[in-house]
Chains A and B, each alone.
Chain A
Amino acid sequence: MAMHIAEGFLPFPWAAFWWLVSLPFLLVGLRSLARITREHPELKLLLALAGAFTFVLSALKIPSVTGSCSHPTGTGLGAILFGPSVMTVLGGIVLLFQALLLAHGGLTTLGANMVSMAVVGPLVAWWIFGALLPTGRTRLAVFAAAALADLATYVVTAAQLALAFPAANGGFGASLAKFGAIYAVTQVPLAITEGLLTVLVWNWLQAYGKPELKTLQLIQQES
């Protein structure tokens, strides 16, 4: 969770800017969510529990490929299962909970965190998965979607911080290099871990949860 931008960290113009950027995506997601729950009221509970699953996922300790422990974000898996627009709303709610209940992230930085974790991450996962699926290598598609969604989240977070705090010498580029270097050390192994983990979850769903997978993919089709 260390990738969330902390409360009060962004200057007001940037906090407001990222809120404005995130709002259209949130509205599209909400419209999509409202339509799904109107046509399939039974999915309302499932969506809430899917959000709770994402929250619980972020609190589970998973061994990392470097030997340390990390936690998955669930962004890639969520986007593959529910589609990017629903994931924007679920991700936004999970980020709001994390800000209010756990002091991870914040209310003023919620817009920026939503753009990186609930908008860009799911969109990247969705695109990658869609692009690689026709090759017939589903596992590779799942791995690449989850790992690259993770990496995209960190790249966007680093860019958000670099825009808000350009270096006195070198400006945005130098600052991006600084924040990117801070994230790269920890997040590249974590992205690989999340990719592998998502493949394992996907395998499990394919093997034992075909009916449940159909229910989950109903959300994606509707969105």
Chain B
Amino acid sequence: MSVIRRELHELSRIDVFARQDTWIHRIDARAKVLATFVFLLCVVSFPRYAVLPLLPFVIFPVVIASLGRLPLGWLVQRLLVASPFALMVGIANPLVDQTPVAILPGHSIAAGWLSFASIGLRFLLTTAVALLLIATTGMPAICDALRQLRIPEAFVTQLQLLYRYLFLLGEEAMRMERARDLRSCGRRGTGLWVSGTLLGALLLRTVARANRIYAAMLLRGFEGTIRPASLRALTRRDLVFLLGWSTAFLICRQVPVGELLGHAVIGARL
């Protein structure tokens, strides 16, 4: 499968996930966007060697994925696709940072391993939450939420229009790529020269298409701004979601929950 077809397929899947009707899908997009924002801030604000304090944050993506009925395989696959960068850069840490750090009585490891684990865990948490936000909310609802949260109109309109035309243009590019592949007979015709011509043609088609779409939108009454699909006040459920999770994140950021639980378990055993 070509890269572009695979990416378009993935985008379509996310759209399908976002159209489900579950408890988490019914939460207002603003509440989910703000809760995600607090989550990201808390997770990235930990020091570079923090591993144990990050573990309680795993609960949030697990709960959202379960309540949103999102397939675990999809999430794992997306995370694996994105992980090589984090692994590539982080893998050097154990080699360059060999300061011994005690992890258990009588046992120590190089500090680089801790920072590597911390980077990996942070990457998994934050990427998973960003993917879950879009898969339980959908891009149009996120754009509406951003507009209501006073993000500049020009930015949100471009965001919304760009998302809308991504599929259109992607399919156009896919057709051109397929036509090239069918005519290339193996490697012939897939060189840089043909690729340049292909992209030039795609750009010209893009301009022509933009003009046609604009004319069609004018005929349908487009006045330059996209109106939000729905405008409603935050309900008690939305506020409970936002305040509940935000408070939990801030507590987990300030209090070593994992450590306390560890002490409690060891204490109970003794």
Contacts and interface: CB of A to CB of B under 8 A. Distances in A.
A200 B193 contact: yes
**Chain B interface helix/strand/loop/mixed:** helix
A62 B162 contact: no
A196 B78 CA distance: 32
Contacts of A49: 161-162, 165, 169, 206-207, 209-210, 213
Contacts of A55: 162, 166
Interface stretch (B2-10, B58-66, B255-263): B2-10
Contacts of A212: 203-204, 207-208
Interface stretch (A40-48, A120-128, A129-137): A40-48
B86 interface: yes
Interface string B130-173: 11011000010010000000001111011101111110111001
Contact of B161 (A41, A45, A165): A45
A200 B123 contact: no
B127 A6 contact: yes
B208 A7 contact: no
Nearest to B4: A59
Interface string B19-61: 0000000000000000010001101111110000000000000
A103 B45 contact: no
B166 A8 contact: no
B14 interface: yes
A200 B200 contact: yes
A216 interface: yes
Nearest to A61: B3
A138 interface: no
Interface string B69-104: 000000000110111111011101100111100000
Interface in B181-214: 190-193, 195-197, 199-204, 206-211, 213-214
B43 A30 contact: no
B130 A106 contact: yes
B117 interface: no
A176 interface: no
A89 B158 contact: yes
Nearest to B40: A108
A140 interface: no
A172 interface: no
Interface centre among A10, A55, A179, by most chain B C-beta atoms within 10 angstroms, is A55
A101 B208 CA distance: 27
Interface of A: 2, 4-12, 15, 30, 33-34, 37, 41-42, 44-53, 55-57, 59-63, 65, 71-72, 89-90, 93-94, 96-97, 99-104, 106-108, 161, 165, 167-169, 178-179, 182, 193, 196-197, 199-205, 208-209, 212, 215-216
22 contacts: A4-B85, A9-B122, A30-B155, A34-B152, A44-B158, A49-B161, A52-B166, A52-B170, A56-B202, A59-B173, A60-B195, A63-B191, A63-B192, A97-B166, A161-B89, A168-B98, A199-B196, A200-B195, A204-B199, A205-B200, A208-B200, A212-B203
Top 5 nearest A-B pairs by Cβ distance?
A200-B196, A204-B200, A48-B161, A8-B122, A103-B82
